[in-house]
Copies of this chain bind each other. A is one copy, B any other.
Amino acid sequence: MTLGAMMFFPAGGQISSWRHPDANPQGLLDFNYYKNIVQTAERGKFDLFFYADELYVWDRFESGISHANSIRPEPITLLSALAAATEHIGLAATISTTYNEPYHIARKLATLDYLSNGRAAWNVVTSQTDEEARNFGRDKHLDHTNRYERAEEFVDVTQGLWDSWEDDALLLDKESGYFADKDKLHNLQHKGNHFQVHGPLNVARPPQGYPVLVQAGASEAGKEMAAARAEVVFALVSSYSAEGLLASQKFYEDLKGRMAKFGRNRDDLKILPGIMPIIGRTEEEARERLALTESLTPPQLGLDILSHHLGQDVSSYPLDEPLPFRPDIDQYNQSKTVLKGILDLIDKGLTLRQLYERVTNKRSLAGTPEQIADIMEEWFKKGAADGFNVSFSHLPGGLDDFVNLVVPELQRRGVFRTEYTGRTLREHLGLKRPANRYAKVRV
């Protein structure tokens, strides 16, 4: 079983995790806070630490400024410092293809892969909001089709740059004075719709060949891209009931089934549903902790988050009635996957209050360590998951609980490692090191 430790917000899995009595919001800009967390994840033998990101302060509503956890250290900067403080755990940086240049990103990820001895991963996202566009010289966010087209080309160029040095291109021969073998250094000379990049990269090919490619999109375009390229997919989960299991099995089969047409094996991609365990030593304690976690978000903030995901302000509608309209997903230009999840709830007749409570408190699973391990084992064994991307009601306490209570239970059942056996993240995940496109041509 593959396990990712997810930092969705720096204080935990929820926008209001920072308010948890055991959270430490004073640490959000302090290296030791993050070091402690990622070292705990490493003690728990997690495959990777997964750091989410956005490129703006969510200030569409006043509640976002007043109440939301709106500061985030920049991913590459943070993960590189953490590489120096860890030895085994993979480090996944969320980086947008919409507001970056492939040469910079190829170089940063290659550098992180070197500095960490092969532990870098890239969570490819396309960003979501007009607010982000306005921080990068545009008025509006790129439309869905265009940003996926750009994302595909971005990943192509980046991987091309990683291949620009063959694995044995560096000679470093002091005596003869030959630093590199010119026949093994290649220009990319890419000219596409979105990018023109000549190359070569000024960092040699990364230890992993390519840093591991992570993705989360579950739209049609997102699934096609994942089947073609992704090595880890972070999947959203509607619930941990039998119905949720069935939906995840269906998603799992759908995605793995698409891989053959891209010449890939099912094992080349690990599907990790999200899970936010709320752990109690007893069921009652778990229920109490769940209630505490769900009480942290002020109602106005919850309502505004719902308005955000619906793409329109719904705060003037009656709280205890169903919404009197159903947003059009085709006209929508934020995450279609998130909107689809909300539409399913609208179709079930939830009231506005029920809706925002569900949207705010997503993916949590309250129970004893055994109950949580039961669900994880069942989903893993029944073809719904290759592992999980675990988030936490608050940090560092929620992670401490998981590592101290759930990980040993999974290890006892023989479904999770007791020691790291590999050296690189690819080795933890059982993924092949990709061949270099230019070396192949020579053979």
Contacts and interface: CB of A to CB of B under 8 A. Distances in A.
Given A73-B111, A137-B195, A203 B29 contact: yes
A100 B74 CA distance: 15
Given A101-B136, A137-B195, 9 more contacts: A18-B174, A29-B204, A65-B182, A68-B179, A76-B76, A77-B112, A134-B198, A138-B196, A177-B298
A18 to B, nearest CB: 6
A179 B199 CA distance: 44
Contact of A77 (B67, B100, B108): B108
Interface string A350-390: 00000000000000000000000000000000000000000
Most buried by B among A29, A68, A110, A179: A179
A431 interface: no
Nearest to A194: B137
A74 B204 CA distance: 12
Interface stretch (A49-57, A271-279, A282-290, A416-424): A49-57
A8 interface: no
Contacts of A68: 179
Contacts of A35: 84
A80 interface: yes
A99 interface: yes
A193 to B, nearest CB: 11
Given A70-B202, A71-B203, A182-B66, A115 B26 contact: no
A291 to B, nearest CB: 17
Contacts of A131: 198
A116 B32 CA distance: 11
Interface in A8-43: 16, 18-21, 23, 25-26, 28-31, 35
A150 interface: no
Given A31-B84, A74-B203, A172-B18, A67 B114 contact: no
A85 interface: yes
Contacts of A19: 174, 177
Interface residues of A, number: 79
B104 A170 contact: no
A411 interface: no
8 contacts: A54-B202, A57-B200, A66-B180, A74-B111, A77-B115, A78-B80, A80-B81, A100-B104
A72 interface: yes
A72 B174 contact: no
Given A81-B115, A115-B78, A202-B54, A70 B134 contact: no
A71 B165 CA distance: 10
B56 A202 contact: yes
Contacts of A135: 103, 197-199
A73 B114 contact: yes
Interface string A59-93: 10010011111111110111011111100000000
A124 interface: no
Nearest to A301: B177
Contacts of A178: 66-67
A218 interface: no
A201 interface: yes
A185 interface: yes
A200 B81 contact: no
A436 to B, nearest CB: 16
Contacts of A134: 196-198
Contacts of A177: 16, 19, 66-67, 298
A101 B127 CA distance: 16
A107 interface: yes
Given A29-B203, A195-B137, A197-B137, A21 B174 contact: yes
A135 B85 CA distance: 33
Most buried by B among A16, A25, A35, A100: A25
A172 B115 contact: no
B73 A30 contact: no
Contact of A65 (B16, B55, B76, B180): B180
